Structures are given as structure tokens and as C-alpha cells.
Amino acid sequence: MEIHIVADASEGAKAVADAIESTLRGAAGSGAVLGLATGSSPVPAYTELIRRHREEGLSFAGSRAFLLDEYVGLAAGHEQSYHRFIRENFTSHIDIDDAAVVSPDGSAEDPAAEAAAYDEKIREAGGVDLQILGIGSNGHIAFNEPGSSLASRTHVVGLTQGTIQDNARFFGDVSEVPVRALSQGLGTIRDARRIVLTASGEGKAAAVAQLVEGAISARWPATSLQLHPEVLVVIDEAAASQLELSDYYRFQHSLAAQNPVVPHS
């Protein structure tokens, strides 16, 4: 796990965007398969990518994208659906085919069957090249709440009261927040070839400390990422404030920047 502590959201957005751009350029000709997170954490990176597309010619043509989750009971066109969120905040502003941006169907009559079908769609696409993640204050990633199986596949999950309360700001009232969601499982997420998790603010500090330095536990679902061989964690100073080894992570990042590893030909 590589830890990159940045000064602010702008620097963090550039670091996340760099990882996505590298993936796009590495998949030139065949198109990359991106895993996109919603919520506030990745939005600055999406804004930076839109700028690079418009001003620097960065292309997403031929790429595909899979969303992490969707609320059960919300149709794709609902103003608070993640299907709509990702288009308003990112994909409608770049040159990716709208049909290639796929999310779970929150209005499916059989959510469990939809979950299984969604995992199959990801497999048929060849798997995710780069998965972008945020992290909840309780350590959830996607909608995998504390207690989720570390090996779970895409599934229907009940949301905790804390998550419902956190998301109430996007709805008119907390009573309007759906209580269930379709979510990629922790096992599904770890199938991605590379993962980039981004977080900012003191409210995420405890979860980040567990993610990086805590024991692997269903109590903190994000800790399952310690089992993945290639994870980049991009966090600001506030989110890093509870890390005991922050000086070490800064040194390692500085060392890597000064002495990049050149792969064998």
C-alpha cells in the first residue's frame, strides 16, 4: 500500500487524475475499464480530468466504466441516483460513450439477481483496470458497511443509520434516504488490477488510520484493501492526522519520487 499525503484537495485531485490518465494511456487502442466512485471525495479529481480532456486532449474514447453502487428503489433518472450523479459530475463532460458507463439498476424487480448480473458484466468486460474509491467515516467502501464479508461479491446491503444520516444532506430529509443499496462487494472491488482511494478532512482520519495501520477486520471494511497488491491512498493532512507512521510514509513517497523504479524490459 502506497501512502501519498498531500497538502490540499487540489494536489490530491491531481494525484488521482495522474493515476487515471496513466491507466488510459497504458490501455491506448483497447480502452481502459475504470471503476468510478460517487460521493464528494473523487469529485475534485473528476473536475481535473474534465479540464485535461478539454484543455490537453486527454481522451476516454473506447473506455468503459462501472459504478460501485446504487440505491435500491431509485430509478436511473432520479436526481439522487448515482447513475445521474456520475453523468452530471463527470462522464457527460468527456468523450466516453454514455452506454459504456454502467451502474447497478436500483429499480430492478429482483435486486439480488441484478447484483449477480452486475458482477457478470464486470467479468465480461475483462475486469476493472483501475478502481477509484472514497471511504466512509466508519470505514465503509462502496456501501460495504461494518460487518460486511471481506470476500463479498456485488450484493444488496442495508445501510447503517450513520451512513443514512451522512447522506441525508443530499436529500430533502433523512426520511427520504433509501435504506438499502446495491453495492459491489469487497471481493469484487479487490478484483480490480489497481486501486486508488482518496480521502480528505478530519472526519475521515480514524477510518484512514484503520485502513493503513489497523488490523484487517470486518469492523473496518476498508482494511480488506491491505490484501490487495497495488493500492494508492491519497489523503490530505487532516485525513492523515491519526497515522502514527506519517513521517515514514512521507519519506517513502519522497524517495520514490526521486528514484523511480524502472521496470525491466
pLDDT given at position 89 = 96
| Catalytic residue (choose from 4, 83, 140, 155) | 140
**Phi, psi of 122, deg, nearest 5:** -65, -45
Find the Cα–Cα–Cα–Cα dihedral 94, 10, 24, 144, rounded to 10°.
-90
Nine-digit cell string for 236: 490530505
Q: Which of 48, 105, 129, 145 is catalytic?
A: 145
> 205: buried, middle or exposed (CB in 10 Å: 19+, 13-18, 0-12)?
buried
> Is residue 124 annotated as part of the catalytic site, yes or no?
no
pLDDT digits (tens, 9 = 90+) for 200-211: 999 999 999 999
Catalytic residue, candidates 89, 138, 144, 167: 138
Express as a percent the part of the chain with pLDDT over 90. 80
213 is annotated as an active-site residue: no
- For residues 107-113, give the mean pLDDT: 95
Q: Which residue in 48, 69, 105, 119 is the catalytic one?
A: 69
The architecture in CATH of the region 2-258 reads 3-Layer(aba) Sandwich (3.40)
Is the predicted pLDDT of residue 261 greater than 60, yes or no? no
- Does the pLDDT at position 150 exceed 70? yes
pLDDT tens, position by position, 11-55: 999 999 999 999 998 876 678 999 999 988 999 999 999 999 999
Residue 73 to residues 46, 81, 152, Cα–Cα distance (Å):
26, 9, 22
Q: Is the pLDDT of residue 72 over 90?
A: yes
Q: What pLDDT band is residue 265 in, cutting at 50, 70 and 90?
A: very low
Task: Provide the mean pLDDT of the chain.
Answer: 93
Check whether 104 has a pLDDT greater than 70: yes
Q: For residue 217, give the C-alpha cell.
A: 477486520
Alpha helix (H) residue ranges in 1-99: 9-26, 43-56, 82-89
Beta-strand relationship, 180-183 and 69-71: antiparallel
Residue 144 is among the residues annotated as catalytic for this protein: no
Residue 23 Ramachandran class (φ > 0 left, ψ -120 to 50 alpha, else beta)? alpha
- The verdict on whether 138 is a catalytic residue reads yes
Q: Residue 264 — pLDDT band, cuts 50, 70, 90?
A: very low
Residue 126 zone, left/alpha/beta (φ > 0; ψ -120 to 50; rest):
left
Tens-digit pLDDT profile for residues 168-188: 888 888 888 999 999 999 999
Residues 6+ apart with CB under 8 A from 214: 220, 223
pLDDT number for residue 136: 92
Vertex 32: Cα angle to 26 and 33 (nearest 5): 140
Q: Are 159 and 178 in contact (CB under 8 A)?
A: yes
